[in-house]
Amino acid sequence: MEIPEHRKWMVNRMGPNQRRVTDEYMVGVFEFTQFACAQEKFKKEGKLRCPCKICKCKKHQLVGDVMGHLCMKGFMDGYYYWTNHGEKRPPIPPVVSNNYYKCSGVREDFNDFEQMVMDAAGPSLGTYIEQQTDDCGNQIREDPNPEAKIFFDMLKAAQAPLYNCCENYSELSAAIQALSIKSDFNISETCFNQWMDFLGKALPNDNRMPKNFYRAKKSVEKLGLGCIKIHCCPNGSMIYYFPNDKNLRSCKICGEDRYKSVIRNGKVRDVPLKKMWYLPLIPRLQRLYSSMQTASQMRWHRENIKDPGYLSHPSDGEAWKHFDERYPEFSMDPRNVRLGLCADGFAPFDKTGRTYSCWPIILTPYNLPPWMCMRREFLFLTIIIPGPSNPKGKIDVYMQPLIDDLKLLWNSSVMTYDVSLQQNFIMKACLLWTINDFPAYGMLYGWMTMGKLACPICMENTKAFTLQHKE
């Protein structure tokens, strides 16, 4: 984070001989305590949050103790705006560039669906548009690259009225609204197609209403983040995921065939016997920082003023604090992501009597405030493990793509653009918790959840016993 000019004294604590605190720093500490003591919260409680490198605003101290801590240890890293002591951050300038948001440079001048397209495209498109001008600022006439063309097509759909003189709906908003209604009320595809056909005929002749479900999906799919279908061994022995395995026609572990032959339209086609779905994690995390609605909220766990003694968020817990102490480089940047993983099975065809168990793997970022991180849109469905039975000890086979992404996010990190701060940063992520029942615990961790030592906490100290005399 760039240091504001009026706070550069905060990193100039010790003099040249490293024996005494500089006068500039002492004046700054006095200025800080005066500002903090003028706040209503201090007048009620009589104590301040100590922002030294040890306390990190987690402990309340007397004013004299706070000054002593700051002189001996210095301010915690990055605390150039005293947000935990009543100071507000300066307003953030317009995002990316004026070219990106036409002439106004103000995001709010655009409707919700135009903003959605801009969030989906990300800041990289603004860079592309800026590159289309020469040194004199004149526009260079070139065809847009494929990525930019997708953006312009989507933006055109977001701006084009559903029909001439229509003020309430655009071509894109109508398609999204129709698909949303289909999802909310579980409308069949046949019924949806009939409604689209009826609306298309009822509206004026120049309307742009999607003709059917397929056209509606195609019109909005570029807003999505993609899904990878991966062929699997029917016995769960391997997935055809790694480059060396993609051309195999049978499992290299058990020898089971990969395909079955099916006749369609008079042609013989190879159809995989089993496949799984992987929705890549990294683009979803990057999307959180591409949207103005969520980018600043990803720092909430650090910047939020918390009352000690209350457990309102995972960041208040001992596990989070222990992790920060164990990996200080990771915790230094509040934008690094902490994840929770949930795994469990469900039977989608239970009412029909058909035995089938499907296993979704869901991830959620705990950086977000509690009223956001548990909402449906922030529960990222990452893997769908197909049935018909649960994967048991082979669940790790299906999780290989996710494990690779998590390793990349932990070991190598990923360059990401934070649109709220207009900064590129190196995003890292860690998996802190898993949420599951006891059988799924045994599958995820390889723990034997049966027998005397089933409980991983109690182990040999368990109070469980067996009956000596059985009838």
Q: What is the pLDDT of residues 394-442, one digit of tens each?
A: 888 999 999 999 999 998 878 888 878 878 888 999 999 888 887 777 7
Alpha-helix residue ranges (DSSP H) falling in 294-380: 300-303, 318-326, 328-332, 370-373
Which range is least confidently modeled, 91-105, 149-163, 225-239, 241-255? 91-105
**Distance, CA of 301 to CA of 322 (rounded, Å):** 15
Any domain includes 414: yes
Same domain, 386 and 287: yes
Tell me: cis bond preceding 439? Omega within 30 of 0 counts: no
Look at residue 341 and tell me whether its pLDDT is greater than 80: yes
Same domain, 42 and 66: yes
Highest mean pLDDT among 86-90, 212-216, 350-354, 392-396: 212-216
Shortest CA distance to 431 belongs to which of 399, 407, 415?
A: 407
Reduced to 3 states (helix: H, G, I; strand: E, B; else coil), residue 193 is helix
Look at residue 130 and tell me whether its pLDDT is greater than 50: no
- pLDDT at position 408, please? 92
Any domain includes 452: no
Any domain includes 465: no
**Distance, CA of 286 to CA of 296 (rounded, Å):** 13
Same domain, 372 and 320: yes
Same domain, 232 and 358: no
Same domain, 288 and 393: yes
Average confidence (pLDDT) over 148-162 = 70
- pLDDT at position 323, please? 93
Which range is least confidently modeled, 86-100, 163-177, 412-426? 86-100
Average confidence (pLDDT) over 225-242 = 88
Any domain includes 440: no
Same domain, 257 and 351: no
Any domain includes 186: yes
Any domain includes 172: yes
- pLDDT at position 122, please? 55
Which range is least confidently modeled, 24-28, 202-206, 214-218, 354-358? 354-358
The DSSP code for 358 is B
Same domain, 338 and 395: yes
| Contacts of 452 by beta carbon, 8 Å cutoff, 6+ apart | 462, 464, 466
| Domains in the chain, number | 4
Q: What is the mean pLDDT of the chain?
A: 80
Give the percent of the chain with pLDDT over 70: 83
Average confidence (pLDDT) over 188-194 = 92
Average confidence (pLDDT) over 191-210 = 90
Q: Which domain does 47 fall in, by range?
A: 5-85
pLDDT band at 364 (very low <50, low <70, confident <90, very high): very high
Same domain, 26 and 77: yes
Any domain includes 463: no
Same domain, 285 and 251: no
- C-alpha distances (whole Å) from 128 to each of 70, 138, 423 are 46, 15, 17
Same domain, 358 and 409: yes
- pLDDT at position 126, please? 47
Average confidence (pLDDT) over 189-209 = 90
Any domain includes 446: no
Same domain, 256 and 285: no
**Distance, CA of 25 to CA of 48 (rounded, Å):** 19
Look at residue 107 and tell me whether its pLDDT is greater than 80: no
Between 463 and 52, name the one with better pLDDT. Answer: 52
Same domain, 150 and 260: no
